[in-house]
């Protein structure tokens, strides 16, 4: 019988080794939050934990910089690396294809449609960590690491100018984060995403006031 608690301890140890060069927003705590999100969604939506749990733990096991031209390939690379490692560790072979797909499909930039409930849950769980208070903090932490300024001084909120998150941290809310709720695959994921997006909108409204923008 598959003991997922025992396996999770092994996943945690391995992923901390693999994330040695990860950016500040993809640290081991990000992984743990995604696992927690996945468990919350699975409790409502169902799905096979023997697929969901390893996919959530290992979804970022290959580190590719946000600035790298290979970024859109990162989830496919992680899927292959993870399933090879799982096979080498004796994880039941029948789950590996579904785990591979769930990892490959989790990424926003990869644009892979999740074809199973398990893949939908892992994708939603990862995207939830880009929203709310945690998502806000992660966005700003990563922007500092990448050397991006907070906002465009001429127009802090991109109302009439094109949003450019390669230059302005705040623009990332408009190029990606605020769009995430409409990409959620499960009812639980959508509900949580809408709630967390409210926090981002409150922050943006407050920021606009503080910089004198109506």
Q: Express each pLDDT in 74-132 by its tens digit.
A: 889 999 999 999 999 999 999 999 999 999 999 877 788 999 999 999 999 999 999 99
Domain that holds residue 105: 1-116
Give yes or no: residues 156 and 108 share one domain.
no
User: What pLDDT is attached to residue 22?
Assistant: 66
CB contact set of 110 (below 8 Å; sequence gap of 6+): 72, 73, 74, 75, 76, 104
Regarding whether 141 and 65 lie in a shared domain, the answer is no
Q: CATH number of the domain that 190 lies in?
A: 1.10.3210.50
**79 found inside a domain:** yes
> Structure tokens of 176?
């990606």
Q: Last residue of some domain: 116, 141, 167?
A: 116
pTM of the model: 0.92
Task: State the pLDDT at residue 21.
Answer: 65
Please count the helices (runs of H) and the strands (runs of E) in the chain: 9, 0
How far is residue 132 from each of residues 65, 101, 138, measured CA to CA in Å? Answer: 23, 27, 10
| pLDDT score for 87 | 97
- Beta-bridged to residue 149, according to DSSP, are 168
Structure confidence at residue 18 (pLDDT): 80
Same domain, 4 and 94: yes
Provide the pLDDT for residue 182: 95
Using CA of residue 193, residue 194, residue 195, residue 197, what is the dihedral sign? positive
User: Which pLDDT score is estimated for 14?
Assistant: 92
Low-confidence ranges of the chain (pLDDT < 50): none
For position 2, what pLDDT does the model report? 86
Please state, in angstroms and rounded to a whole number, the distance separating the CA atoms of residues 179 and 183.
Answer: 7
């Amino acid at each position: 019988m598959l003991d997922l608690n025992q396996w999770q301890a092994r996943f945690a140890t391995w992923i901390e080794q693999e994330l040695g060069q990860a950016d500040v927003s993809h640290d081991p705590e990000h992984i743990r939050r995604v696992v927690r999100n996945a468990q919350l969604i699975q409790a409502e939506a169902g799905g096979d934990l023997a697929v969901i749990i390893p996919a959530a733990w290992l979804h970022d096991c290959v580190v590719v910089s946000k600035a790298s031209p290979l970024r859109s390939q990162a989830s496919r690379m992680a899927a292959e690396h993870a399933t090879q490692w799982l096979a080498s560790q004796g994880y039941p072979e029948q789950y590996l294809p579904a785990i591979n797909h769930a990892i490959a499909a989790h990424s926003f930039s990869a644009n892979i449609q999740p074809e199973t409930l398990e893949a939908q849950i892992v994708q939603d769980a990862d995207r939830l960590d880009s929203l709310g208070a945690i998502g806000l903090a992660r966005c700003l932490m990563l922007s500092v690491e990448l050397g991006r300024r907070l906002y465009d001084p001429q127009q802090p909120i991109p109302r009439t100018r094109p949003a450019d998150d390669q230059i302005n941290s705040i623009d990332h809310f408009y190029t990606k984060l605020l769009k995430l709720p409409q990409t959620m695959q499960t009812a639980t994921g959508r509900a949580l995403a809408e709630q967390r997006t409210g926090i981002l909108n409150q922050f943006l409204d407050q920021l606009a006031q503080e910089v004198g923008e109506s």
